[in-house]
Amino acid sequence: MRRELKYILNIAKINKRETNRIITFSLLYILLEAVIPFFVRELLNSITRGEALYIIKLFSGVIILYSFTRLFWAFSDYEVAKLKICAKGDLKKRLHEKMIKLPINYFSHNLPGEIITKMTADVEIIGENSPLLPAILSAFIEIIVIGFVLFKLNPILALITIATFPIYSILEKRYKPRLEKSAEEERKASDPIVEMIRENIAGIFTLKLFKPYKYLESIFNKKIDEWKKISKYRAQCFYVYYGLTSYIEYTLPLVILGVGSILVANRAVDFPTVVAFFAFVSRVYVPVWNINFLLTTIPGAYPSIRRILEILEHPEEKITIGDSFPKIIDKIILKDVSFSYDRGKILRELNLEIQGKSWTAVVGATGNGKTTLCLLLSGLYKPESGFILLNGKPYSNYDSTQLSKNIIYVPNKDFIFNASLKDNLTFGEIYNEHEIKNICEICCIDEFTKDLNVNATNFSDGQKQRIALARALLRKPSFIILDETFAAIDSKIEEIIVYNIKKNYPALTVVVVSHRLSTIHNADQIVVMKDGRIIATGTHSLLSKNCEEYRILFERQYIID
């Protein structure tokens, strides 16, 4: 059995209550419906006999049976809808839980738009196909019951009906591969559309400044046209298949009526039986059509299942149980550390020693690997070669949970979630009001708001940077890495924050990347980077005298406040 099919079937097994109810209600309406043609035949026979009271009773019986049939059918459909909702909700939960545990490099190789499509459109497709197991079981039961009824009414007409079944199989065999392939192509064509929409929303201010509307419309329209072309082909395959099967479904009763009329004329069958058979025979194609429909459309969900499994089966970020994180950082050593992206090597054989309880500034022109160095120091990225030692031990020797709590990286634009200031600071962890108030004072958040329930997304970039810094410091890390964290903060406010950090966190080890002289000139150590290498280290006064690259940096791009 294909793993995609096994995955779909397993959804129904997980949601046992809804699945059992679907099968139960389906069985009830199938059995009740099977009795109706015999009531109809008897009703027609009673008309010829002129039994008025008996006719009323039979007619009332047909109405009651039909009413209960529709009632149980409605209950079954309701349970199908519940199963779909449960399947979609549970899958979204699993995907979200998995996504936030994936390693950082997964997001470097997968576009956000593609991930969003998987967690929305693909989940919808899988959810809509989740009732496959009860649908197949109900359809097979219905075929058996209908077959029994048809043979009971008239074997000759029943054999004529069954003789049309192979046509469905031929159509299914012809169109199933086309539908599966076109569904996969449609999903792939949809990803770039979602990604471009996401990019345009994220970069709306830039778009408003430059107004490249025609350029963007041209690119977007090409993507849409490609998607439309593939989607039209898929719709063509589906509706040709649907049209042909529907034609058979609606033509068969006419064939039965014609053959039945001949049999009546030859006295091989009575007229009430033909009418009952004619009224019921259209039902035979409902389960047959359902089975063939499922077997034809389910492959269209296979690409979505593969894309979902690609996330669910991807290795999570490793959680290791190792040594306890040291109470005091003595030193951090980088030995021959190199790192590459897909586009090539970005860091080359870095050797650096960072003393505990010190402030180390990293400077260099844009694109020289400063952020990558920060990500390596944070443990989010792993060295391609070489190693990083903390108190003489590799990061991998330490308990990963303690490591992430004690080493925190704060980027230039750390994400501020659509939530209250307090929630953005605590992320649901328990801190007392004094701790939160104190960290707001240290990072000068109290200077622009004292309301912890205010939505944090409404603040300026500089205010958001203070919130991000406060969020990191609230966790009392041992080592913090500030990557242009003060870039949008006023220099006077920055000076106050730096003073507060040094005063309140004297044992904190800090690495800071900045283009401001005011940020780095008092650092215990300044690291100068060029072309992915460390070319010099020292204090500001020493480098100003002995490092030409350092002097050039400040002459060209560094800001003196």
Phi, psi of 389 (to 5 degrees): -115, 135
Mean pLDDT of 37-61: 86
pLDDT band per the 50, 70, 90 thresholds, residue 1: low
Question: Where are the alpha helices (H) located in 359-474, listed in sequence order?
Answer: 370-378, 400-406, 421-426, 433-442, 461-473
Mean pLDDT of 326-350: 90
Question: What's the rounded Cα separation, in Å, for the pair 543 and 523?
Answer: 12
The alpha carbon torsion through 108, 113, 116, 118 (nearest 10 deg) reads: -90
pLDDT band per the 50, 70, 90 thresholds, residue 366: confident
Question: What's the rounded Cα separation, in Å, for the pair 452 and 433?
Answer: 10
Closest CA to 134 of 19, 218, 240: 19
Phi, psi of 460 (to 5 degrees): -75, 170
Residues forming beta bridges with residue 525, ordered by sequence position: 360
Q: Are 237 and 178 in contact (CB under 8 A)?
A: yes
Closest CA to 274 of 157, 360, 381: 157
Question: What's the rounded Cα separation, in Å, for the pair 72 and 85?
Answer: 20
Query: What is the pLDDT at residue 247?
Result: 82
Q: Are 524 and 538 in contact (CB under 8 A)?
A: no
Residue 78, judged by CB atoms within 10 A of its CB (0-12, 13-18, 19+), counts as middle
Residue 147, judged by CB atoms within 10 A of its CB (0-12, 13-18, 19+), counts as middle
Residue type, 220: F
Cα 401 to the chain's mean position, in Å?
A: 25
Instruction: Tell me the per-residue pLDDT of 206-261, one tens digit each, with 9 for 90 and over.
Output: 677 667 888 888 889 999 999 999 999 989 988 888 788 778 777 878 888 888 88
Instruction: Tell me the per-residue pLDDT of 254-278, one tens digit each, with 9 for 90 and over.
Output: 888 888 888 888 888 888 888 888 8
Q: Are 62 and 280 in contact (CB under 8 A)?
A: no
In Å, what is the CA distance from 302 to each residue of 15, 179, 262, 293, 519? 20, 10, 48, 15, 54
Mean pLDDT of the chain: 87
Instruction: Tell me the per-residue pLDDT of 502-535, one tens digit each, with 9 for 90 and over.
Output: 999 999 999 999 888 778 888 999 999 999 999 9
Q: Are 406 and 325 in contact (CB under 8 A)?
A: yes
Question: What's the rounded Cα separation, in Å, for the pair 76 and 79?
Answer: 5
Q: Is the pLDDT of residue 561 over 60?
A: no
The fold of 331-556 is Rossmann fold (3.40.50)
Question: What's the rounded Cα separation, in Å, for the pair 389 and 332?
Answer: 6
Cα 322 to the chain's mean position, in Å?
A: 32
DSSP assignments along 239-298, one per residue: HHHHHHHHHHHHHHHHHHHHHHHHHHHTTSS-HHHHHHHHHHHGGGHHHHHHHHHHHHHH
3-state secondary structure of 131: coil
Q: Where are the domains of the chain?
A: 3-312, 331-556
Give the end-to-end CA distance of the chain in Å, rounded to a whole number. 69
DSSP assignments along 494-517, one per residue: HHHHHHHHHHH-TT-EEEEE-SBH
Instruction: Tell me the per-residue pLDDT of 148-176, one tens digit each, with 9 for 90 and over.
Output: 998 999 898 888 888 877 776 777 777 77
Beta-carbon count within 10 A of 55 CB: 16
CA angle 330, 333, 335 (to 5 degrees): 160
pLDDT > 90 in the chain, percent: 43
**90's tokens:** 């549970």
Question: What's the rounded Cα separation, in Å, for the pair 495 and 486?
Answer: 10
Query: What is the pLDDT at residue 47?
Result: 82
**76's tokens:** 């079954």
Residue 463, judged by CB atoms within 10 A of its CB (0-12, 13-18, 19+), counts as buried
> Does an H or E element contain 55, and which?
helix 52-99
pLDDT band per the 50, 70, 90 thresholds, residue 558: low
Architecture of domain 3-312: Up-down Bundle (1.20)
